[in-house]
Structure 1
Amino acid sequence: MERKPHILVFPYPIQGHINPILQFSKRLTSKGLRVTVITTTSISKSMQESSLNFVTISDGSKQGDKETMYEELERFKLFVSESLAELIERQKSSKHPPKLLVYDSAMPWALNVARQLGVDGAPFFTQSCAVNVIYHHAHHGVFLQRPSVSLPYMPSLGVNDVPSFLNDTGSSLPLKIALNQFSNIHEANWIFCNTFDKLEHEVVNWMASQWPVKTIGPTIPSIYLDKRLEDDKEYGLNLFKPNVDTCMKWLDTKEIGSVIYASFGSLTTLGEEHMEELALGLKNSSCSFLWVVRESEEKKLPDNFIEETTERGLFVTWCPQLDVLAHKAIGCFMTHCGWNSTLEALSLGVPMVAMPQWTDQPTNAKFIADVWKVGIRVKLNEKGIATREEIEMCIREVMEGERGKEMKKNSLRWKELAIEAVDKGGSSDKNIEVFVAKLAHS
């Protein structure tokens, strides 16, 4: 019997980076690979039952540690590079020695660790190809702090359309991490990107002319796309406990396309004034709304706001986002434009009100509004705040306006193309098959 090729898969241990790489792993397993997912001690307890095989390595974290971001990253790299090397050594002498390590692009040093032990490595990019191209050019000294910039096959980007780290003064640590993704990209034989060909067609083609890029997305549970992977209904990781029954029962009572779903991800923190304007914009829109407000953010809501909007509003600390977006009651998604949320909305045909906050979100918002034409971007005032009037106007435009109908039509078209990409013979499906076949014969 022919042995299945074995690969190790190593996501960066935060929710938005783990979910896409877990889904990619499920696709690889369905094509006949043996996949071992590496988790670190700080998140291993959050993993749910899954068909995947998991192994835990130490990241040196201790409960109650109070570290700066710099200290945390230095400790992580120091401990993990050692424990990763030890794991690869052990795996090499097992019955199924690994051929390759797929690692999150935020950890470029993982390629060096693997290669020194005779195992190949391939980065997995959890951001859009457009953002990859921007960071690549910034890495090579094309600085983007100017009114607009032209890059290959992209719309003209204003200062508010590029990732926020590029506008930081001084050499910020997040910018350094973002640019370091490209420090050894030219050494990789495979580069995986969580997007699909038709979504970023020209940008993908340009990247593929530079490096061995393979699009393999959207990495969303199969039940919402091609339905070919049995029992693939969720990602398999929840660092936050979703209020499943509350959300779904409430949505079941609402009319088709009548609800705004508002969520700003697991990391975004809105200021008090921003929170108040958002609350009043939602209230004044006269639409029903489901709003994910983390416990730490609740105190920023206006006094008595929850009581005053109890007829139309549901507040939860976390929710099953895919189930919510797939529900017929949802009319639009008010989002921070994180790449996972953007791909989920595109894959489920939901128009967006884009309210980007930081990192790659401004670039995603630019594409949502001006390239894919599936949403509207909230304009900020001179203080950098989205006012209640602006928020209300954007919601009404998407939910009731003529442009809103066009956005809905475009959203449904992207949904079809997302399904086509991962379905049998689609671009992402073929890329995964080519990779698996080459690995089997290497």
Structure 2
Amino acid sequence: MNPLLQFAKRLASKGLKATIATTHYTVRSIDAPNVNVEPISDGFDEGGFKQAPDLDTYLENFIAAGSKSLSELIQKLKRSSNPVSCIVYDSMLPWALYVAKEHGIYGAAFFTTSAAVSTIYYQVHEGLLSFSSTTEGPHILSVPGFPKMGYGDMASFLAVPVSYPAYLASVMDQFSNLEMADWVLGNTFEDLESQVAKEMTMPRPMMMIGPMIPSAYLDGRINGDTGYGANLWKPVRDKCLKWLGTKPPNSVIYVSFGSMAELTATQTEELAMGLKGSCKHFLWVLKESEHCMLPNRFIDSTEETMLLVTWCDQLEVLAHQATGCFVTHCGWNSTLEGLSLGVPMVAVPQWTDQPTNAKFMEEVWRVGVRAKMGEKGIVGREEFQLSIREVMEGERSEEFKKNASKWRELAKEAIGEAGSSDKNIDKFVGYLSSD
């Protein structure tokens, strides 16, 4: 939701009227200036996904209720002074494109994964790549423009397809009608994935319009744009900034696994003991429901070095001079934020596209390391400590910092005035405005 919301703000800043259509459950969490917000239904208006009995039921209801309510919204806006001329939809909701075509308006697919991951998914959908679900023996994937990919570097939906049948079906479905889309937009930028872009084979060329990060952290051209304007949970802001303000530059480890990743009790304990053993200050975002997984007396024994919060403003933390390392699951939003704000990373990927993002982070963009998993897919405390030390004080730490700073500047250039992404946004706006 955040990159789509940020794109709406970019469009509004260039003279278009932008409206975010999202579910009743999430609409209450959005407060963004210059962007209109309207609710549509997913069939579970009170509790959202958690209200549904299972994923299949949720998706079926979302297609039916979403198509109907989105169509009604288009009709409502048609009677206003600002009728809808184009629907920009999350690529995981391809039914929105059918609604656009039914009303005779443009449709633009917005991919919130990297160009690399989107390319792999598309090639699998088209039968150009295939994977077996066995883990025995070497399993190397060779794609032009990509580093060599092993079994553990693949998106989990592809590596173990039988484990995620509903999610895999949804991922593949985003390409089911892509040839009907008028544009394909990607939250990435050309310098970051230029080699991948050369090998992309989608029905429409991807217009790279990212990074979709609040303007204050990049080009500063959208007045007051210091945050996305959407929070599912209330961030602990002042406490974090005050605590960070007492720490030396590049001394704090920031740890967050995003809003969806769920660590096991064993993995949580190993990370906790690794952080404690690092003898460094760390700010850890851990859901309140997961605090029970921490080792006995862990909080008491780390009160001098740790700040534990249930949620925070990640951009503010990453931008703070005290932050020297980002321990991340490597979801694409977090990866792009870390790159755009120039913070070296330790990757501990969990599922979906995260292993592939971690592969590029370590071997292509070279801004950190991926902690190696041991038995049962767990990153042990010793390995975790080694990874932290390698990024923050090892022989390659200066290289990681230098590369991170380089990507920060390239991100600013891409979205800045006349940058590659800004030009693509202008093309999109120009086409809609002239029509």
User: What's the TM-score, normalizing by structure 2?
Assistant: 0.95
Give SS of 1:332's match: strand
Structure 2 letter corresponding to 1:149 = L
2:153 matched to 1:156? no
2:75 matched to 1:107? no
Query: Which of 324-333 and 112-121 deviates more?
Result: 112-121
Structure 1 letter corresponding to 2:82 = H
Q: Residues 384 and 308 of structure 1: is their aligned pair in 2 closer, same or farther, counting only changes over 3 Å?
A: same
Query: Which of 66-75 and 333-342 deviates more?
Result: 66-75
Partner in structure 2 of residue 71 of structure 1: 57
Flag as ranges the 4+ runs of structure 1 deviating above 4 A: none
Cα offset, 1:119, TM superposition: 1.2
Cα offset, 1:208, TM superposition: 7.1
CA deviation vs aligned residue, 1:53-108 (integer Å, no higher than 9, x gap) = 11112222154635111111111111111111111122223322211100000011
Alignment partner of 2:111 out of 125, 128, 132: 125
Alignment partner of 1:81 out of 60, 67, 72: 67
Q: 2 CA distance for matches of 1:210 and 1:154?
A: 20
Query: Which of 423-432 and 183-192 deviates more?
Result: 183-192
Structure 2 letter corresponding to 1:359 = T
Q: 2 CA distance for matches of 1:348 and 1:373?
A: 15
CA deviation vs aligned residue, 1:300-343 (integer Å, no higher than 9, x gap) = 00011000000001100001100000000011000000101000
Query: Which of 58-67 and 113-122 deviates more?
Result: 58-67
Structure 1 letter corresponding to 2:320 = H
Query: Which of 79-88 and 142-151 deviates more?
Result: 142-151
Structure 1 letter corresponding to 2:74 = I
Q: 2 CA distance for matches of 1:213 and 1:92?
A: 29
Give SS of 2:200's match: helix
Alignment partner of 2:130 out of 116, 119, 143: 143
Equivalent residues in 2 for 1:35-434, closer than 5 Å: 35-63=18-46, 65-141=51-127, 142-145=129-132, 147-170=139-162, 172-207=165-200, 210-434=203-427
Cα offset, 1:210, TM superposition: 4.9
Question: 8 Å contact 2:6–2:212 — kept in the other structure?
Answer: yes
Query: Which of 326-335 and 186-195 deviates more?
Result: 186-195
CA deviation vs aligned residue, 1:193-219 (integer Å, no higher than 9, x gap) = 000000000112333785232111000
Q: 1 CA distance for matches of 2:212 and 2:341?
A: 13
Structure 1 letter corresponding to 2:199 = W
Q: Residues 242 and 209 of structure 1: is their aligned pair in 2 closer, same or farther, counting only changes over 3 Å?
A: closer
Cα offset, 1:253, TM superposition: 0.4
Cα offset, 1:413, TM superposition: 0.2
2:406 matched to 1:437? no
Structure 1 letter corresponding to 2:147 = P
Q: 2 CA distance for matches of 1:91 and 1:115?
A: 16
CA deviation vs aligned residue, 1:143-178 (integer Å, no higher than 9, x gap) = 123701112311111111111011224370101111
Q: 2 CA distance for matches of 1:225 and 1:43?
A: 27
Q: 2 CA distance for matches of 1:431 and 1:208?
A: 19
Q: 2 CA distance for matches of 1:210 and 1:82?
A: 27
Question: 8 Å contact 2:119–2:201 — kept in the other structure?
Answer: no
Question: 8 Å contact 2:318–2:343 — kept in the other structure?
Answer: yes
Unpaired segments of 5 or more residues in structure 1?
Answer: 1-17
Question: 8 Å contact 2:244–2:322 — kept in the other structure?
Answer: yes
Question: 8 Å contact 1:144–1:159 — kept in the other structure?
Answer: no
Q: 1 CA distance for matches of 2:368 and 2:172?
A: 29
Structure 2 letter corresponding to 1:154 = F
Question: 8 Å contact 1:189–1:212 — kept in the other structure?
Answer: no
Question: 8 Å contact 1:59–1:80 — kept in the other structure?
Answer: yes
Q: 2 CA distance for matches of 1:349 and 1:231?
A: 22
Query: Which of 178-187 and 282-291 deviates more?
Result: 178-187
Structure 1 letter corresponding to 2:389 = R
Partner in structure 2 of residue 12 of structure 1: none
CA deviation vs aligned residue, 1:220-252 (integer Å, no higher than 9, x gap) = 000000111100000000001110011000000
Q: 2 CA distance for matches of 1:25 and 1:66?
A: 29
Question: 8 Å contact 2:178–2:203 — kept in the other structure?
Answer: no
Identity, % of aligned positions: 52
Structure 2 letter corresponding to 1:36 = T
Structure 2 letter corresponding to 1:252 = G
Question: 8 Å contact 1:252–1:329 — kept in the other structure?
Answer: yes
Cα offset, 1:50, TM superposition: 2.2
Partner in structure 2 of residue 14 of structure 1: none
Query: Which of 313-322 and 151-160 deviates more?
Result: 151-160
Structure 1 letter corresponding to 2:140 = S
